[in-house]
């Protein structure tokens, strides 16, 4: 009799713990502290999902965590994930981080695009929309990528590199464009919507193995993420969430948020095809994955 009671209690505990794991399993999402990652930040406050944000200091470190499944998903530059997918890593893009929201910031002595000839220009990674914006801007002003010295740099280092005259311009995830303008060492040469309207840049990308193992939970996360984007259309809400991950003055964050659009986070086939044509045109990726292979349709 006593033995049966012990077995019954053990079974009950097992059921409770299994049920608990399904309902409350923590989903790990990697991010860099940038205003482009705000839908992921907002996710932490969403109902019905238990999301833990894991902060990284650089795109290569974050991508490695995503590729190896140390995190379930990440807010990442979409071209980096496309490149990994093209190399055989199981990744799926499920939503955008934002549309628009990048600027080309240049030093005071750069009055027009042509002045960039022979100068050093920083981007976060060659596989990025920032590389596309730079090439669109150069083309507009009759220059080509060979006319500038392109360097890769971690986003937070760019404003000080501009102030020190180590570089003459940069294009990177926000708020670091706004930071460069705020310290009065830079000005905006082009906003990204002047070069590529409704551009794609960051995306929420899931590790396929994690998705197959935690599909139910991750489907809820995708749903919550899209709702999070709707909340961020409210500028005050976006500012509050920015302050959770960034210690920048309100003026900088407000300027940054003026440029970013969180209202269209679904990846449409048309927008993805436009991105594919640009990554091919500018030599960023020769064999980008197709929409059907890489994007989860809403």
Residues of the shown chain interacting with Zn ion in the complex, contacts defined by CB under 5 A: 36, 173, 201-202
Please, what is the angle between helix 59-67 and helix 78-86, to 10°?
Answer: 50
CB of 202 to Zn ion, least distance (A): 3
Given the complex with Zn ion, which of 92 and 99 has the nearer CB atom?
A: 99
CB of 63 to Zn ion, least distance (A): 14
Bond preceding residue 175 cis, omega within 30 of 0: yes
CB of 14 to Zn ion, least distance (A): 44
* Cα separation, 85 vs 215, whole angstroms: 20
Given the complex with Zn ion, which of 110 and 202 has the nearer CB atom?
A: 202
Q: What is the DSSP string of 71-87?
A: SSEEEEEHHHHHHHHHT
Q: How many CB atoms lie within 10 A of CB 22?
A: 10
Calculate the alpha carbon distances from 261 to 7, 34, 192, 230, 289 in Å. 56, 14, 12, 10, 25
CB of 260 to Zn ion, least distance (A): 8
Given the complex with Zn ion, which of 138 and 173 has the nearer CB atom?
A: 173
Query: Could you give the angle at the alpha carbon of 35 between the alpha carbons of 40 and 129, nearest 5°?
Result: 95
To which residue do tokens 């080309």 refer? 104
Given the complex with Zn ion, which of 143 and 202 has the nearer CB atom?
A: 202
Given the complex with Zn ion, which of 161 and 201 has the nearer CB atom?
A: 201
* Cα separation, 32 vs 297, whole angstroms: 25
Given the complex with Zn ion, which of 50 and 268 has the nearer CB atom?
A: 268
Given the complex with Zn ion, which of 32 and 143 has the nearer CB atom?
A: 32
* Cα separation, 25 vs 229, whole angstroms: 23
CB of 77 to Zn ion, least distance (A): 7
CB of 97 to Zn ion, least distance (A): 5
CB of 230 to Zn ion, least distance (A): 18
Helices (H), 183-298: 192-195, 208-213, 215-232, 235-245, 250-259, 269-281, 291-294
């Amino acid at each position: 009799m006593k033995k049966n009671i012990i077995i019954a209690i053990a079974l009950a505990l097992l059921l409770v713990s299994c049920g608990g794991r399904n309902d409350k399993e923590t989903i790990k999402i990697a991010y860099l502290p940038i205003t482009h990652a705000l839908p992921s930040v907002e996710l932490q406050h969403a109902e019905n999902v238990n999301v833990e944000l894991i902060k990284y200091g650089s795109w290569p470190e974050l991508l490695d965590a995503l590729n190896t499944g140390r995190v379930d998903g990440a807010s990442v530059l979409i071209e980096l994930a496309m490149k990994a997918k093209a190399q055989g890593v199981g990744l799926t893009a499920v939503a955008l981080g934002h549309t628009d929201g990048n600027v080309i910031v240049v030093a005071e002595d750069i009055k027009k695009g042509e002045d960039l000839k022979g100068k050093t220009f920083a981007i976060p990674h060659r596989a990025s929309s920032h590389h596309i914006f730079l090439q669109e801007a150069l083309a507009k002003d009759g220059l080509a990528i060979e006319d500038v010295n392109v360097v890769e740099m971690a986003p937070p280092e760019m404003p000080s590199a501009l102030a020190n005259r180590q570089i003459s311009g940069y294009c990177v995830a926000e708020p670091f464009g706004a930071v460069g303008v705020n310290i009065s060492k830079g000005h905006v040469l082009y906003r990204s919507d002047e070069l590529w309207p409704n551009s794609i840049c960051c995306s929420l990308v899931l590790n396929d193995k994690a998705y197959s193992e935690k599909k139910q939970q991750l489907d809820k996360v995708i749903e919550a993420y899209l709702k999070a984007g709707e909340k961020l259309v409210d500028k005050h809400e976006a500012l509050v969430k920015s302050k959770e991950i960034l210690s920048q003055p309100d003026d900088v964050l407000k300027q940054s948020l003026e440029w970013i659009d969180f209202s269209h986070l679904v990846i449409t086939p048309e927008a993805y095809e436009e991105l594919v044509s640009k990554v091919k045109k500018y030599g960023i990726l020769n064999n980008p994955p197709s929409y059907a292979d890489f994007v989860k349709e809403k």
